[in-house]
Amino acid sequence: MTDTTGSTARRLPTWITAVISGGFGLFYAYAVWNALDFLISQAGGYLGLSVIGWVVLGFAVVFPLLVFAAAFALGRRRGAMGLALVLLVGLGLVSVFWLDVLAYSYAAPEILLNAPEA
């Protein structure tokens, strides 16, 4: 007779998942720290931030956390290389988004910053 109770695939040991996720988590944490630093420096500047600036730069702080959670949820059932690849793709997505935020804030600062009073 055949076994129909479950799959025969071996699960990845927890410590390997933790090491891979922790290593990539440091890069995601760096992205969060970078975005938070940029938010604080822009908010504490001479003009301050507009509502759009708070939303855009606030989302830049939260976005790496959301991508890491989604990448971990998608990759934890895969093998070690699958987990690392999904986390690497997510890190690439975070990097592209961060470059877009920087380009937007340097190309159109009048949208993110409060207009000086006349």
What is the per-residue pLDDT for 63? 97
Which of 28, 26, 18 lies closest to 80, judged by CA? Answer: 18
Q: Is residue 11 part of a domain?
A: no
Q: Is residue 7 part of a domain?
A: no
Q: Is residue 1 part of a domain?
A: no
Q: How far apart are CA 50 and CA 21, in angstroms?
A: 36
Contact 112, 49 (CB under 8 A): yes
Q: Is residue 98 part of a domain?
A: yes
Which residue range is the domain that position 38 belongs to? 25-112
Q: Is residue 104 part of a domain?
A: yes
* Domain count within the chain: 1
Q: Is residue 3 part of a domain?
A: no
N-term to C-term CA, the chain: 85
Q: Is residue 49 part of a domain?
A: yes
User: pLDDT tens, position by position, for the chain (118 residues)?
Assistant: 565 555 555 777 889 999 999 999 999 999 999 999 999 988 887 777 888 889 999 999 999 999 999 999 999 888 899 999 999 999 999 999 999 999 988 887 777 777 666 5
Q: How far apart are CA 41 and CA 53, in angstroms?
A: 12
The 3-class secondary structure across 27-76, one letter per residue, is HHHHHHHHHHHHHHHHHCCCCCECHHHHHHHHHHHHHHHHHHHHHHHHHC
Q: Is residue 34 part of a domain?
A: yes
